[in-house]
């Protein structure tokens, strides 16, 4: 029996296998510097010229090099949402989103099997899931898990089960715990923020039934892709006409939904249609600043929405350790002289202002986790952080001020959940 743990993330995915009795995170792809990485960006590219599908960094490279095709990112955000089960047209074929997620999950399984190089087939998997795929609707939440289970079975797994992502991170962290402690696990990724309050110790780690150790789990559907959206709306979308009034009716603005979709990773493709081009051309007759709208029209015509979102994400990351950064919008337009766009400055102050409400909501959900268990902040010994968005200084500052007496341990941002899922898989299936 071959066993693995699979962290299908909104932004990055990992797969860990039990290989020659050793628990190993599979090296999935080389980065631009040629170093093997255990993360695969959750991205997929359908090439229109060769009908080849690429995944991860390779998918992003093909897209950014301007190859004709369709990029998909943040596919996990479709699970539990109103698009779940929908189809989308790629060239002249319709694919369900489940099928597309299936291509990605199937490629992770295939890569792990290739890595093991002994012809073994991966049968049993523990897949990570956020505490809530949908914050408000338990039926949609259950449906999302059922979709992911069906996708994994079609991808070739025989035994499929789930574990909450923050519980997996707790199990990973517990390997370095020396004495009993009460830990709060904080996993803020690309799509969701998830929390677990747990008693950890080397002795408890060995026990079969951990039910009583996990005191509370909670989560909220806010993560790094929402931060990208907020920053984009506040600092970039106005350059493309967001909020601009109509010339003939100054009380009326250009409709906001185009900009919200353009700033939302998993909705960008909705704008690459002839209907949207037609609508935007008709607004051109009435907007106050045609140049800004022309930027939007050109951007969508050349399907550069994901490139723009990538620039915003990059700027957000750069603002982790500098007070301002430039977003070079001019690189998005190769041969358009008449839309006059250069670079745009984004500041840490703007980032913090635009994220403030989301971060407050995340910390409300975090506090609810403690309330559910009747535990006070002073009782927490350790706050363990994982997930890319915990690198944000405003997140660590909030943790510092909420838990001044607790030890703050920064885990591996990208592998902690995956390692814990593998530990769980070994426990369940071996
Ligand atoms: N230094 C940084 N500052 C701010 N955000 C960052 C930084 N580094 C990475 N991120 C963000 O972290 C997110 C990705 O984190 P991660 O890979 O943990 O998410 P994920 O596991 O794919 O998502 P989820 O678990 O929510 O499904 C992205 O939104 C990325 O922009
Ligand atoms: Mg994650």
Ligand with an atom nearest the CA of residue 392: 1
pLDDT-derived band at 127 (thresholds 50, 70, 90) equals: very high
Pocket test for ligand 1, best of 6, 7, 10, 185 (most atoms within 8 A of CB): 10
State the average pLDDT over residues 304-323.
Answer: 95
- pLDDT value at position 292? 93
State the average pLDDT over residues 248-265.
Answer: 93
Kindly give the distance from the C-alpha atom of residue 157 to the centroid of ligand 2, in angstroms, as a whole number: 21
Pocket test for ligand 1, best of 81, 190, 232, 264 (most atoms within 8 A of CB): 190
Query: Which residue, 12, 14, 93, is CA-closest to 53?
Result: 93
pLDDT at 1 over 80: no
Percentage of the chain modeled with pLDDT above 90: 87
Ligand with an atom nearest the CA of residue 9: 1
- pLDDT value at position 237? 97
State the average pLDDT over residues 200-223.
Answer: 95
Nearest residue CA, atom 15 of ligand 1?
Answer: 388
Ligand with an atom nearest the CA of residue 225: 1
Ligand with an atom nearest the CA of residue 412: 1
- pLDDT value at position 335? 66
- pLDDT value at position 341? 72
Which protein residues are within 6 Å of ligand 1, measured from CB?
9-12, 76, 165, 189-192, 223-225, 313, 316-317, 320, 387-389, 391-392, 413-414
Pocket test for ligand 1, best of 5, 11, 133, 148 (most atoms within 8 A of CB): 11
State the average pLDDT over residues 220-237.
Answer: 97
Average pLDDT, the chain: 95
- pLDDT value at position 65? 87
Kindly give the distance from the C-alpha atom of residue 242 to the centroid of ligand 2, in angstroms, as a whole number: 31
- pLDDT value at position 64? 87
pTM for this one?
0.95
pLDDT at 144 over 80: yes
Percentage of the chain modeled with pLDDT above 70: 99
Kindly give the distance from the C-alpha atom of residue 30 to the centroid of ligand 1, in angstroms, as a whole number: 19
- pLDDT value at position 337? 59
């Amino acid at each position: 029996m071959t066993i693995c743990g699979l962290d299908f993330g909104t932004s990055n995915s990992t797969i860990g296998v039990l290989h020659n009795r050793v628990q190993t995170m599979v090296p999935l792809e080389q980065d631009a510097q040629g170093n093997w990485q255990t993360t695969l960006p959750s991205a997929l590219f359908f090439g229109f010229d060769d009908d080849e599908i690429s995944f991860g960094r390779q998918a992003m490279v093909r897209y950014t090099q301007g190859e004709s095709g369709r990029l998909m990112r943040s596919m996990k955000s479709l699970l539990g949402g109103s698009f779940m089960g929908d189809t989308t047209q790629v060239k002249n074929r319709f694919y369900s989103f489940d099928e597309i997620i299936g291509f990605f999950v199937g490629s992770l399984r295939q890569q792990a099997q290739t890595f093991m190089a002994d012809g073994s087939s991966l049968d049993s998997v523990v897949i990570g899931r956020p505490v809530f795929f949908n914050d408000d609707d338990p039926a949609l939440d259950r449906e999302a898990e059922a979709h992911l289970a069906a996708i994994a079975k079609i991808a070739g797994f025989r035994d499929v089960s789930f574990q909450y992502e923050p519980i997996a991170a707790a199990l990973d962290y517990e390997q370095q715990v020396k004495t009993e402690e009460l830990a709060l696990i904080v996993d803020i990724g690309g799509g969701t923020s998830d929390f677990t309050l747990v008693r950890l110790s080397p002795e408890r780690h060995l026990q079969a039934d951990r039910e009583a150790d996990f005191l509370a789990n909670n989560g909220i559907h806010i993560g790094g892709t929402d931060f990208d959206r907020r920053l984009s709306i506040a600092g970039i979308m106005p350059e493309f006409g967001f909020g601009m009034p109509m010339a003939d009716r100054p009380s009326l603005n250009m409709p906001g939904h185009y900009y919200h979709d353009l700033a939302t990773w998993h909705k960008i493709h909705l704008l690459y249609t002839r209907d949207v081009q037609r609508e935007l051309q008709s607004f051109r007759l009435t907007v106050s600043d045609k140049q800004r709208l022309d930027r939007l029209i050109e951007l969508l015509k050349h399907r550069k929405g994901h490139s723009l979102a990538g620039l915003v994400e990059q700027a957000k990351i750069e603002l982790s350790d500098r007070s301002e950064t430039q977003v070079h919008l001019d690189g998005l337009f190769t041969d358009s002289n008449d839309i006059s766009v250069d670079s745009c400055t984004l500041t840490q102050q703007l980032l913090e202002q635009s994220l403030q409400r989301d971060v407050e909501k995340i910390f409300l959900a975090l506090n609810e986790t403690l309330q559910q268990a009747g535990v006070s902040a002073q009782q927490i010994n350790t706050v363990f952080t994982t997930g890319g968005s915990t690198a944000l200084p405003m997140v660590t500052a909030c943790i510092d001020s909420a838990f001044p007496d607790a030890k703050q341990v920064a885990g591996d941002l990208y592998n902690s959940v995956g390692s814990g899922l593998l530990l769980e898989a070994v426990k369940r299936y071996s």
